Amino acid sequence: VQYSLPQHKENVVLATGKCQYSAKDNVLLTDYKYKTSTVKNNKADGSIKVSLEEQDYKFKIDLKVPKVGVMLVGFGGNNGSTLLASILANKHNISFHNKDGEIKPNYLGSMTQSATVHLGRDEETGRDFFQPFNAVLPMVNPNDLIVTGWDISNLNLAESMQRAQVLDYDLQRQLTPLMKEYTPMKSIYYPEFIAANQFDRANNCINSKGDEFTTKGKWDHMMQVRSDIKTFKTENQLDKVIVLWTANTEKFAQIVPGVNDTHENLLQAIKNDHEEIAPSTLFAVASILEGVPYINGSPQNTFVPGLIKLAEHENVLIAGDDFKTGQTKLKSVLTQFLVDAGIRPVSIASYNHLGNNDGKNLSSQMQFKSKEISKSGVINDILESNSIMYGDDPEKARIDHCIVIKYMPAVGDSKVAMDEYYNELMLGGHNRISLHNVCEDSLLAAPIILDLVIMCEFCSRVTYKEANDNGDYKKFHPVLTLLSYWLKAPLAREDFLPVNGLMKQRAALENFMRLLIGLPANDELRFEERLA
Ligand code: NAI
Ligand code: DG6
């Protein structure tokens, strides 16, 4: 089986014996035996019964890379402008100078562009062989993404980039002529959902007359977004579009029975101009009704039950919430390491201060609350995995974990995160780990946005069925939890819990790529070395 990788100008030859290539449809068909185990924990007689389960699946991967458009809500923000700048710098191969010398464009921080997958042992050298993540199966090249978006602020993207103060001046200078060609589309601004200190920014809104904003006509606002999506898709002759929220953090919406609990109620509530309908709800609904995947990069609970049900009803991919960039990414590694090493975290104090517009918005209590919820939950499943240290009741497996965020304009986008991990050791000892982490928020977030888009698109080209099923191949469940690696508070489908540990999330992605080319999950057993 052989296929080409457009981004890499090389061919992959698969001799795994599990794959077939169909030239007629340009698809790869792969057989995979999924093995898992279930446990019956019988507390009455103190026994634990472990059973093995196996299921044969067939996967179909469409190898044609489509032309993809990305629509960012919050296009003119720090993340939005940094993302566009990174694409244009790479696409036009713009090098620039800073005090360290010449910097060539790159996509560091993007797992799909700058990390690798373990494929096996090199026949000749005996060393492990690693292939770029995006060179296992054909993926969209970020340089080919067509980008647009909405913002409540009317600055063009060159001005937004200057306002963001993220990139070195020499790069900004070279990018300005390209960036100024992009202007955000008008957006929806309902003042009560974001901090009052954002009011001055709102001069590019479909629901305003001068300084007056109306929250009446929510259905029409949603339909305007649908129309923007349709127009963008047609004018750019796109095969696919993905919408991603990287606008300000909103306050949490209340879950109100009869309003946002079912998809029918949610649509009716939009028609009724209900006060719990946020701008992000309208963007998500518009995307889903257009059959376009929607990703939430902020912490607010856009995915109320009615919205998840709408995505299920329309069979459209959704993922969220809140990009996992600096402090939290490290926390989901470090806490997992401690707990898996049998060291008992007792408390984690997480402080951060930042001076960008995100920090300004989060200085308001309701918006901070959304972020606090998102940042607090990331260790729960890790603690719950260890009954020796935290007891049998998962609901009670909690430690002191405080989140503090302060707005400090002087540090700009260079968010400073300080964490103290206080851990219990053997025989009453304690260990204290203090971390000081200057995150560079938008330079960490922009590559994550790329990964979310690229992997979301890739997953939409993979379908599956049980091996004995003669019917059609099916899409993945609309709640695309494979994207959890990039998200602080991973959205889980009903009856499932989120997985936060970064290494588990990474293993899922790596093994997913491996299974699609007929390889078993990476188990690190390495028998060739360990057995006599
Ligand atoms: P930002 O404040 O620079 O950008 C947000 C943009 O959204 C602004 O340009 C604002 O005018 C616009 N906006 C606000 N409401 C809007 C609406 N209804 N429609 C369209 N545009 C609207 O913030 P930044 O730093 O770009 O972050 C964006 C979001 O991503 C924030 O919610 C932040 O909490 C979240 N986030 C950022 C991370 C990072 O490391 N940079 C990590 C995790 C989440
Ligand atoms: C301060 O916590 C502001 C937030 O928007 C964060 O910068 C962002 O959520 C990234 O957080 P973390 O914990 O992933 O670095």
pLDDT (0 to 100) of residue 47: 94
Mean pLDDT throughout 162-176? 97
Q: What is the mean pLDDT of residues 50-57?
A: 96
For residue 97, the CA-to-ligand 1 centroid distance in Å is 28
**End-to-end CA gap in the chain:** 34
Contact 304, 329 (CB under 8 A): no
Q: Which atom of ligand 2 is nearest to the CA of 445?
A: 10
Single-letter residue type at 358: D
Q: For a ligand 2 pocket test, name from 298, 321, 328, 364 the mutation site with the most ligand atoms within 8 angstroms of its C-beta.
A: 328
DSSP type of residue 244: E
pLDDT category at 10 given cuts 50, 70, 90 is confident
| 54 φ, ψ (degrees, to nearest 5) | -135, 145
Q: At what angle do helices 169-179 and 157-164 cross, to 10 degrees?
A: 160
CA distances from 504 to 145, 407, 484 (A): 29, 33, 10
CA of 440 to the centre of ligand 2 (A): 10
| Mean pLDDT for the stretch of residues 480-503 | 95
Catalytic, out of 62, 151, 321, 322: 322
Q: Is the pLDDT of residue 242 over 90?
A: yes
Task: Please report the atom of ligand 2 found closest to the CA of residue 359.
Answer: 3
Structure confidence at residue 326 (pLDDT): 87
**How does pLDDT run across 183-206, given as a tens digit for each residue?**
999 999 999 999 999 999 999 999
The DSSP annotation for 326-356 comes to: SHHHHHHHHHHHHHHTT-EEEEEEEEEEE-S
310, containing H or E segment: helix 305-314
415 in catalytic set: yes
Distance CA 331, CA 348 (A): 9
Residue 12 is predicted with a pLDDT of 87
- Maximum alpha-carbon separation in the chain: 79
Ligand 2 is surrounded, with C-beta below 6 A, by 324-329, 352, 354, 358, 362, 371, 375, 405, 415, 417, 439, 441, 488
The one-letter code for the residue type at 189 is Y
Would you say residue 7 has pLDDT above 90?
A: no
Average pLDDT, the chain: 96
Average pLDDT over residues 438-449: 95
Token pair of 249, please? 């953090």
The predicted-structure confidence for 248-279, as pLDDT tens digits, reads as follows 999 999 999 999 999 999 999 999 999 999 99
The answer to whether 488 is a known catalytic residue is: yes
Instruction: Examine the pLDDT at 440 and tell me if it is beyond 90.
Output: no
Q: What is the ipTM of this complex?
A: 0.98
**Residue 476 confidence (pLDDT):** 96
Q: Tell me: the pLDDT tens digits for 335-384?
A: 999 999 999 999 999 999 999 999 999 999 999 999 999 999 999 999 99
- For 373-432, write each residue's pLDDT tens digit: 999 999 999 999 999 999 989 889 999 999 999 999 999 999 999 999 999 999 999 999
The predicted structure's pLDDT at residue 122: 93
148 secondary structure, DSSP code: E
Which atom of ligand 1 is closest in space to residue 413's alpha carbon? 25
